[in-house]
Amino acid sequence: METETSKRSSEIVMSVAEGIHLQLQNVQSQMQKDVGKLTSLSKLKRKRLETRFQEQQEQLKLIHEKFKDEINQHIQDCRSSIEGLEVHQIELKRNVERQKASHQKLLLQVEEAIEIQLNDAQQRITAIHKASKRCSN
């Protein structure tokens, strides 16, 4: 009877061990499936994020290039304005020098005319004095 009991106990233990083994295999299989799904989802999400990041990098690169072009254009416009101001300043200085020379010439002409008028007035006054002395004599 002891052998029979031992045999039945052994069968029960074997049966339970087999059931536990199947449960563990099922759990392991489920865990592997879950890990596989998570890995797959993680790879997919990472790929999407990398793609999005690359798109944003491209947009940023385009924005940077556009900004650089606009800055270069602005700098070129400023240089052109400065060159225009320098040319204007040179022209203005030249015109001021011409005006100055013209005014000096005009002043010399007026000075000569005044000198002539004063000499003429002096001669007339002298003539009047001479005429007055002749009449008094």
Query: Residue 122: inside a domain, yes or no?
Result: no
Strands (E), 17-103: none
Structural domain that includes position 63: 1-107
Domain contains 137: no
Domain-embedded: residue 4? yes
Q: Is residue 38 part of a domain?
A: yes
CA–CA separation, 35 vs 43, rounded Å?
A: 12
Domain count, the chain: 1
| Average pLDDT of the residues in 4-26 | 93
Tell me if 131 is assigned to some domain. Answer: no
Which amino acid does the sequence have at 86? Answer: E
Residue 1 confidence (pLDDT) above 80: no
Residue 72 confidence (pLDDT): 98
What pLDDT sits at residue 50? 98
Query: What are the structure tokens assigned to 94, written together?
Result: 């030249």
* 71 Cβ neighbours under 8 A, 6+ residues apart: none
Say what percent of the chain tops pLDDT 70.
99
Residue 113 lies in a domain: no
Rounded to two decimals, the pTM is 0.52
Mean pLDDT of the chain: 95
User: Does residue 123 form part of some domain?
Assistant: no
Residue 31 has which token pair?
């865990």
For residue 56, pLDDT over 80 is answered with yes
Report yes or no on 136 lying in a domain: no
82-133 pLDDT, tens digit each: 999 999 999 999 999 999 999 999 999 999 999 999 999 999 999 999 988 8
Structure tokens at 104: 């000096």
pLDDT computed for residue 7 by the predictor: 87
